[in-house]
Chain A
């Protein structure tokens, strides 16, 4: 009986995870298109359904109706497998994320490590797709994606370690429980949050880090040879990733499902107000991601890698050492950590531009100006 219940529970959570992926992708695509249009002083798609609400669904049906095309020389196994595998990351991450009180699939004691490990599946499948397509643009796009995602996983992991150090546990439900009474880790460690947020944008392959599919250089990057629903899977994953990554950030830094009257309505052992707060926080972060994408221009490849390896990783390492020292030796370490992290946060934000400008000027002075 227990086994049967366990299987039913597993099926339920997988179905929910898939539903979240599909619904989030459809919602986010429409949300992003309309947000982008409004930023550009346009209206965006508003004809299909009320205010264009059914546009994404129409697009999805269009995609399913397209021809399932595979290039003749493409690797048949990898080419078919890549779009299937790309969903693994987005779906499995949700299994350790508490949507709300009492609505969590598995409370892993190494949840944080699971998060990082499972994210790499996306990298793998993108690389597979790029490799199997037998197309130079796809290959370059796939390799770029691999390089970028592996590079940015390191600062991400360093930030995750700080969260684990602060909480003293790698269990995701412990991390949420630590943040009760509005003691959000995002307030204690804003600099860590900043690093995590920047890395997560790069992990999602979104602007300003959307080089793997930089259409001005690479046609459509790793997805060049994909069409129809196979392309749709990559597309779905990319847009569902917005919500999933924001859910992770909310869980780690902004108190998860905690909020005013989070426990007020409990039905079937699940607190529904908590779910509401979880979604509200998630969508604030999704909005920020979209907003950033349409505000900041795309980086160059060398700038992208330099930003990870020369700035984020050293700063992350320094940050992890300093945080560890504060937790170890400062008596009221929460306050010490907050002061340290806010100071570094403002220093980073304020000094980034002047230092960059200074370095660029120095570089220009060093290089002789070659005139034609």
Chain B
């Protein structure tokens, strides 16, 4: 019975103590400076869809790498039967072998990579994102094709049309511009017979202009494939590109 009195003294001692309840709307605790609150997916009020496009930027930017995006669509596509799948594949297939995509998708199943990573890998396989590849990704992951298209058309890094074998990037950063990048591009346009940003009809060369490549000391700079050429003049450029065209058998226009 003395033990009970001890317990009762203990409870009574808590009666006048300071209460830990926070009267929420009126009284708010000061959060720590680094607190970011609760992360959650914002819902678009008009459609009820999540605004998240599973671009996985948050995943790659998270400093402590705690975010993991595993996207599954709320609106699953109606499951098409096998015949319709193969029909769709045949219709979309324009000389593109879907088999090369399989390792990318297997990697997705294995590691649960995000959509953007998967699209990047797919682009590495084909050089661009063919419609049939997007369709295959959509069929196998359940992400709707429109969402995949939305992601792939949003980011500059994704190309939806095929590019040439050799991509010629001409730097148009400030230093290169001052050193005559415009003339370099003009020379290349003349030699290849295509406008800036286009591809030759034989699918050998794609000409594009990019922002700074980080090689300002060698301005003006051009990059063909992995090879970088610095300190160019228009004449040098013509020589380089002619040699390359002879080497790979490319044709003008």
Residues of A within 8 A of B (CB): 38-43, 291-292, 294-296, 348-350, 352-353
A156 to chain B, nearest CB (A): 18
Residue of B nearest to A36 (CB): B11
B94 adjacent to chain A (CB < 8 Å): no
B22 to chain A, nearest CB (A): 9
Which among B2, B12, B18 is the interface contact of A352 at CB below 8 angstroms? Answer: B2
> For chains A and B in complex, what number of residue pairs have CB atoms within 8 angstroms?
44
In terms of DSSP, what is the predominant structure of the interface of chain A? helix
Residues in B whose Cβ lies below 8 Å from that of A40: 14
Given A349-B2, A350-B2, A353-B3: A41 touches B17 (CB 8 Å cut-off) = yes
Residues in A whose Cβ lies below 8 Å from that of B14: 38-41
Given A38-B14, A39-B11, A39-B14: A295 touches B19 (CB 8 Å cut-off) = no
Given A42-B20, A291-B8, A292-B8: A352 touches B1 (CB 8 Å cut-off) = yes
Q: C-beta contact mask, B1-31 vs A, less than 8 Å → 1, else 0?
A: 1111101101110110111110100000000
Task: Give the distance in Å from the alpha carbon of A42 to the alpha carbon of B22 in the complex.
Answer: 9
Query: Are A349 and B20 in contact (CB-based, < 8 A)?
Result: no
Query: Are B19 and A42 in contact (CB-based, < 8 A)?
Result: yes
Residues of B within 8 A of A (CB): 1-5, 7-8, 10-12, 14-15, 17-21, 23
Query: Are A38 and B2 in contact (CB-based, < 8 A)?
Result: no
B26 to chain A, nearest CB (A): 11
Which among A43, A296, A349, A352 is the interface contact of B19 at CB below 8 angstroms? Answer: A43
A-B contact pairs, 23 of them (CB 8 A): A38-B14, A38-B15, A38-B19, A40-B14, A41-B14, A41-B18, A41-B20, A42-B19, A42-B20, A42-B21, A43-B21, A43-B23, A291-B8, A291-B11, A292-B4, A292-B8, A294-B11, A295-B7, A295-B10, A296-B8, A349-B2, A350-B2, A353-B3
Task: Give the distance in Å from the alpha carbon of A352 to the alpha carbon of B3 in the complex.
Answer: 9
Residue of A nearest to B17 (CB): A41
Residues in A whose Cβ lies below 8 Å from that of B4: 292, 295-296
Residues in B whose Cβ lies below 8 Å from that of A39: 11-12, 14-15
Residues in A whose Cβ lies below 8 Å from that of B18: 41
Residue of B nearest to A351 (CB): B1
Task: Give the distance in Å from the alpha carbon of A342 to the alpha carbon of B5 in the complex.
Answer: 17
Task: Give the distance in Å from the alpha carbon of A291 to the alpha carbon of B8 in the complex.
Answer: 7
Task: Give 17 new A-B contacts, CB below 8 A, not counting A292-B4, A352-B2.
Answer: A39-B11, A39-B12, A39-B14, A40-B14, A41-B14, A41-B18, A41-B19, A41-B20, A291-B11, A294-B11, A295-B8, A295-B10, A296-B4, A296-B7, A348-B1, A349-B1, A353-B1
